[in-house]
Every structure is written in structure tokens, then in C-alpha cells.
Amino acid sequence: MSFDLTGRRALITGSSQGIGLALARGLQAVGAQVVLNGRDATKLEAAVAEVPGATSLLFDVTDHHAVRAAIDAFEAETGPIDILVNNAGMQHRAPLEDFPPEAFERLLQTNIASVFHVGQAVARHMIARGAGKIVNIASVQSALARPSIAPYTATKGAVANLTKGMATDWARYGLQCNAIAPGYFETPLNAALLADPDFSTWLGKRTPAGRWGQVEELVGACVFLSSAASSFVNGHILYVDGGITASL
């Protein structure tokens, strides 16, 4: 029963595809009412159609005022958001010496500023209720670097530290703020890597589990961090990576 989310409402940002959509399905399977989010209305509604019973909340996670307005209106009109999964993110690959500054700015806004914007907007309501769960999606790149993605690595390191800051500020109000740090998973964000047989060969040798992760393998960690089972877990970064951070 500690993992039962019946009666809880979960908002998952960036949930039109990939990890976000998989986590929405997983939380719904253990009883949560799920709210999908994206900024592309067509993609978002297509995702909602794949998760019967889900609802949608359209807003751009990089727009602070739009986020605040959408969250406040939803709380007033629909009800409380008990669980927030900050999943929205993007990738851009280029050598650091040639990395476009506009791409760097997009990464900052999408991968880290959005965690602040949505986290703050939702936490204000959670604090008033004295309870809430925030699960941020970090990355194996929160701890490790790889060529061509230095700015992405910087943003995911920041997600891990912002998670610790959230816990430090908000645990006293009854919130648990933690992060999941996925390793290499088969997602649209990794399409270019999936299409590269040399990379998959390297990954298989580098990862003790010897393979790519499947998005469904992230669900258990998210359910744990969203449920009463993690009532005294705060500021933790849970790596789900097939052992890649444990091995040289």
C-alpha cells in the first residue's frame, strides 16, 4: 500500500513522448490521475489519446509567467497537483569549441530554468497544503561527461543540485524533492545515438548491464519517489543506469 497512488494527481512535464509518456503510464497504473504537459497542442493531444483517462495542461515550461498562470488556474479550477515530475528536456550535440550560443541558451532554459519555473509554481501550492512530491529528471550526465554534450552535462548537473536545494528549502514544509538520473535509454532524444552502431557497441561494453535501458525500467523509481514509500527520502539522486556510474 505504500506505493499506491490512488487519489493522487501527477503532472508530468514534457510528456508527449519518450520518458515522460512512459512515466505517465506507469504512475497511472498504480492509481494516479495523470496530467500530461507539452507546448505542442497536436502532439500533446495525441499523447493523451494513448493514456485513457489522462488530461492535458498546455504551457511552455520555459515561460515563467505562462507556467505560473497555468498552474494557478489548474489548482483553482481542477484541484491539487500532489506529484510533479519535471521531465521536459532537450539535447544538442556539437564540439564545445563550436557550440552555438543560441543552442546553449535553449538548453539552459529547457533543461534547468524549467525545473525552477514549474517547481516553484507547483511548490507554492504544495507548501500551503503541507505535502507534495517533486521528482526531477536528471541524467547520468549529472555525474559524468562525454564529448560533444558539455552544455547538456552542465544543465543536468544543475538539475541535480537544484534538487538538493529544493529539498533543503522545502522539506520542512512536508515536501519530498528527489531526482532520477537515467543512463542511456532508447528515447527520441537519443535517436542519433541509437542509429550509430559504433556507439551502441561502445555503450554495451561500457555499461555493466551490457545494453540500452528501456523507458519502462524508469517507472519503478518514479513510483517509489512519488509515493509514501519515500516519505523520508529527500534531496536524493537515484541513478537508473545499468551500473555505468559504478564502473570504470
- Which residues belong to the active site? 152
Q: Are 115 and 159 in contact (CB under 8 A)?
A: yes
Determine the Cα–Cα distance for residues 23 and 114; give it in Å rounded to an integer.
18
Determine the Cα–Cα distance for residues 225 and 243; give it in Å rounded to an integer.
20
Determine the Cα–Cα distance for residues 116 and 243; give it in Å rounded to an integer.
29
Q: Are 207 and 245 in contact (CB under 8 A)?
A: no
**Main-chain phi, psi angles of 9, to 5 degrees:** -115, 130
Determine the Cα–Cα distance for residues 84 and 10; give it in Å rounded to an integer.
6
Strands 9-12 and 55-58: unpaired
